[in-house]
Amino acid sequence: MGALSHIRVLDLSRVLAGPWCAQNLADLGADVIKVERPDVGDDTRHWGPPFAQNPQGEDTAEAAYFISINRNKRSITVDISTPEGQDIIRKLAAESDVVIENYKVGQLKKYGLDYDSLALLKPDLIYCSVTGFGQTGPYAQRPGYDFIIQGLGGFMSVTGEADDLPGGGPQKAGVAIVDLFTGMYASSAILAAVIHRDRTGTGQYIDMALLDTQIAVMANISSNYLCTGTAPRRWGNAHPNIVPYQTFPTSDGWMIIAVGNDSQFRQFVKAGGQEQLADDVRFADNPSRVAHRSILVPLLTEMTKTKTKNDWITTLEKANVPCGPINDLKEVFANKQVVSRQVELQVPHPTAGTMKLVASPMKLSATPVEVRMPPPTLGQHTDEVLRERLGLSAEAISALRQKHAI
């Protein structure tokens, strides 16, 4: 039984940040009900290909994007623009511990589904809103998109190859890091609010903003600016103060070299048959290597191209030189450490037969994370939830369908 098996979550969110937060809570055992639009569902259901395939190798309707953020949830369809749909949400919220939503600021108020309205029905409710810019400030009404926030929040100013090198310029992350970090922070805030409620009996409102999160996770980079008043620059895969501390090409791929002292540098170039570089006065210590970076790095690049990625890693690990491969996802899931940690899971699914998922990284000894349910099909649990939670009869549920409320 999960640590949060006593917690009920009503998830009104879509796309990524909110569903990621809800999935974290679901993985920890919370009973999460995902509310989706009838016939359409969460936008990410349609963000493919790729789609999961059935045993015959045919695409199902389950997009890989949706699959990645919605396990351990039950899906119901509700049209919140209808009076009947609004009534369903109110009743479900009244017997939930947590509500999560990511509508535009003020949008749910017109339906009577905002925090103030629902808190009248359940004063100890924990209500988390996730938006691009928060509930206050001059940008509050703007829609928020991860890509745009990466730029606006400074991340892309320090990400990408240095401006004075080929290919230099701003670069976004390969995944939607702002959405994902916001979902993680929201999970932490909700857990803190649950503990506060359990101690005091009082619920509260949580205001999460993508922009706030982006600036927060800049961590030491934001702190560097606040301490010096100087905006950091892009360094690509290189380090501003250490050389060689960057990526290098091999004969069949790429690797990372993270030399931290002169001894490691000597071992690195010795492994490549270029030990004379360690005796060169221009490269004998780190300050000299930093000063002559533009000369040294091309020499090292030619050296690293002479061996395969695996040959380099094997040799350098034996020589205690910090290094690592740059793997594609095929190599990642074949890695013996990844296999040992059971990061890839296979679970039964009603349309895909067997579905492959990425395991939660949270490993708790007393309350382990389990995949109790695969990502749901659209509205898979509507009847079940309405019967179980609201006590509705089959006739009442049928009437709601006829009114297009579910």
Residue 39 backbone class (left: φ over 0; alpha: ψ -120 to 50; beta: rest)? left
What is the C-alpha separation between 268 and 319, in angstroms, rounded? 8
Tallying the residues shown for the chain, one arrives at 406
What is the C-alpha separation between 335 and 327, in angstroms, rounded? 9
Q: Is 245 exposed, middle or buried (0-12, 13-18, 19+ CB in 10 A)?
A: buried
**H helices present in 139-285, as ranges:** 146-152, 177-200, 210-216, 220-228, 262-271, 276-279
Active-site hit among 79, 179, 252, 328: 179
Paired strand residues for 247? 256
DSSP state of 48: -
Residue 11 known to be catalytic: no
Residues designated catalytic? 179
